[in-house]
Amino acid sequence: MKSKKNIKYQIEEMREWFSERYEDPVHHCPHDGREGGYLYIFGGPYDARDILENTFREEFSEKAIEELIEELEGECFEWSKKQTVDDFYQDELDSISFPSEPLSDLLDQIENSEKAILELKPDQEAFFHHLVFIHTITILETFLSDYFISKITISPSWLKSFVQNNRDLSERKFSLSEIYETHNQILEIAKKYLLSLIWHNLSKIEALYKCTFKISFPQKSPGNLRKAIIKRHDLVHRNGKDKDGNLVSVTKNELTDLLQEVRDFACDLNSTLEKLTVPEAIENIEAKEEDYGF
């Protein structure tokens, strides 16, 4: 049945639909110098007339479709499919290789950082201390994310514990057809969710570990690490100044202490997790994440 909306609204609705899915290849498609065209890496080339007529001829008027086709062909004759958010995350997943030994990777990174600061000349220290300080928090983030993702990847039971106890995932609504399509993609859905998290938000990440593995972070470290994360924010986002405009400095001793703090934290957390067996976590499955202020 044809829409009773006026032509202006029909065109606007079709234009919005089209622009969400297709774009001029000049934006994101690499140019093929030899052939003089584009490499349609996301699909294409597509003809606006074919797309609009096949999609909307039963719904909208022929006049509205023709007007939009004329408009779009004035912009571009051959269109590319847009890269979707799912495409982006799949590319991210495909490009990431999660280390099998996250702790060893962290320890190597810390050792390299410690060697680097010993070799600095006095006139280099202020600048490079800032860089190593920021990098140390990144080392911690990477360890926490790699460790978590590697655990749920190798163990269906850990994955089940995570999905059942994480409110964002457990409360998602699916139709029967979506359940059929996605039941074999639970791990990929979980990974996409985890890649979207900010892993230096220690309160949220601790809640994530608690609701999945039923363990707490080592208590001797989080307070100091949270202070270091605030300083890292000043260095990265305030150009090395605090919220009052004062310059933030990083001394060699402070940097050495932070590296040791991160090393101890990671080793303690690893020790706690390695003592667990999967059944221990599943037996305590009733401990939902709201119990931890997630």
> What's the whole-number mean pLDDT along residues 165-180?
66
Residue 4 is given by DSSP the state -
Share of the chain above pLDDT 70, in %: 78
Quote the CA–CA distance of 5 and 71 in Å, as a whole number. 20
pLDDT at 63: 93
Pairing of strands 37-38, 80-81: unpaired
Residue 214 is classified by DSSP as -
Q: Residues in the chain, how many? A: 294
Please state the pTM of the whole predicted model. Answer: 0.61
Task: Tell me the helices (H) and strands (E) count for the chain, helix number first.
Answer: 14, 4
Look up residue 221 and give its DSSP letter. S
CA 78, CA 38: separation in Å to the nearest integer? 10
pLDDT at position 161 over 80: yes
Q: Give the model's pLDDT for residue 276.
A: 81
Taking only the tens place, the pLDDT of each residue in 226-283 is: 999 999 989 988 888 888 889 999 999 999 999 999 999 999 999 998 888 654 444 4
pLDDT confidence of residue 289: 40
Contacts of 49 (CB under 8 A, 6+ apart): 69, 73
Q: State pLDDT tens for residues 109-148.
A: 999 999 999 988 989 899 999 999 999 999 999 999 999 9
What would the pLDDT profile of 270-280 be if each residue is shown by its tens digit?
Answer: 999 888 865 44
Q: Which of 67-76, 125-134, 168-177 has the lowest mean pLDDT?
A: 168-177
User: What per-residue confidence (pLDDT) applies to 261?
Assistant: 95
Residue 52: alpha-carbon gap to chain centroid? 34
Which burial class, exposed, middle or buried, applies to 187 when counting CB atoms under 10 A from its CB (0-12, 13-18, 19+)?
A: middle
Report the run of H or E that residue 104 belongs to, with start and end.
Answer: helix 102-118
Instruction: Specify which of 11-15, 38-42, 78-82 reaches the highest per-range mean pLDDT.
Output: 11-15
Beta-strand ranges (E) seen in the chain are: 22-23, 31-32, 37-38, 80-81
* Residue in the block written with tokens 């584009």: 38
pLDDT of residue 169: 74
DSSP code per residue over 85-102? HHHHHHHHHHH----S-H
Contact 28, 79 (CB under 8 A): no
- SS3 breakdown of the chain: % helix, strand, coil, rounded to 5? 65, 5, 30
pLDDT at 30: 74
Mean pLDDT rounded to a whole number for the chain: 81
46 SS3 class:
strand
List, in order, residues 6 or more apart from 100 with CB less than 8 Å away.
150
* Domain-wise residue ranges, the chain: 7-83, 90-292
- 61 pLDDT tier (thresholds 50, 70, 90): very high
Per the model's pLDDT, the better-predicted residue between 78 and 99 turns out to be 78
Place of tokens 């495909």: 94
Q: Are 45 and 79 in contact (CB under 8 A)?
A: yes
**Both tokens of residue 54?**
């096949």
